Amino acid sequence: MKRMLFLLAFIAPALVNAEPSSQIAWTPDILNLVKNGDLNKGKALAETCKSCHGDKGQGMKEETRDDEILPAIPALAGQVATYTYKQLRDYANGNRSHIQMTGIAKGLTERAAADLAVWFGSLPPAADKSGSKNLDRAEKMVESGDGKRILPPCFVCHGSKGQGEKQDIPALAGQQADYFARTLLDYKNGQRQNDIYSRMRLIAQQLSDEEIKELAQYYQQLK
């Protein structure tokens, strides 16, 4: 109860001026649609996702090729199915934009989005310990937060093992560090705005770029 009150106290100022950041409403019908997603159909659909998201949904690191930076691609393995579904629908509805994903998502029915979400959610997250360093500061942020900045511990929402929570809180365990960091930076500078009640924008704005990088490394090694 204390954790919930702490979180509500943190987001309360944002509720007054919050604008709709997503057209997804978690009605019983939508929750059942995702819950009953077809694994086999999702697996078949995911064949077209492998070239970008990897053969096991592990995503791809940021790369530099011919002096061009190719941005990291998120890991989808082990992601909370409702979260993946929401992102696909946000792309389709225009609440989130990406040059490739917007077109792909618009071509998916709600049922197909649910099937894909359930399939990727069934895969084990792929932890990657490469590039690990002293992450004590990140671990403290995850476990204790920062009362001086009114930052709640990350585990309150994302779980003690980065497993995420229903419905719209993503799993972070095994996420590509480059993608994780870029996502928080996009929230920080306002380029991404489909977080419910501006929660992640408010948090990211109070984190230094170095803290964001350390948190990204911390969660990448979890599984």
Rounded to whole angstroms, the Cα distance separating 62 from 50 reads 16
pLDDT of residue 70: 80
Rounded to whole angstroms, the Cα distance separating 175 from 79 reads 9
CATH of domain 28-122: 1.10.760.10
pLDDT of residue 127: 75
CB 117 within 8 A of CB 85: yes
Which residues lie across from 69 on neighbouring strands? 64
Closest CA to 142 of 152, 129, 128: 152
Integer-rounded Cα radius of gyration of the chain: 17
CATH class of 127-220: mainly alpha
Q: ∠ at Cα 158 (75, 95), nearest 5°?
A: 65
Mean pLDDT by 10 residues, the chain (223 residues): 48 50 92 97 97 93 78 94 97 94 96 98 84 85 95 95 92 94 96 91 96 96 86
Q: How far apart, in Å, are the Cα atoms of 162 and each of 63, 105, 139, 183?
A: 25, 26, 12, 16
For the record, the structure tokens of 95 come out as 């609440």
pLDDT of residue 131: 61
pLDDT of residue 132: 63
The number of CA neighbours under 13 Å toward the Cβ of 39 is: 3
pLDDT of residue 15: 44
Q: What is the pLDDT of residues 135-178, one digit of tens each?
A: 999 999 999 999 999 999 999 999 999 999 988 899 999 999 99
Rounded to whole angstroms, the Cα distance separating 41 from 104 reads 16
Same fold, 28-122 and 127-220: yes
pLDDT of residue 64: 76
DSSP assignment letter at 70: E
CB 212 within 8 A of CB 107: no
Domain borders along the chain are 28-122, 127-220
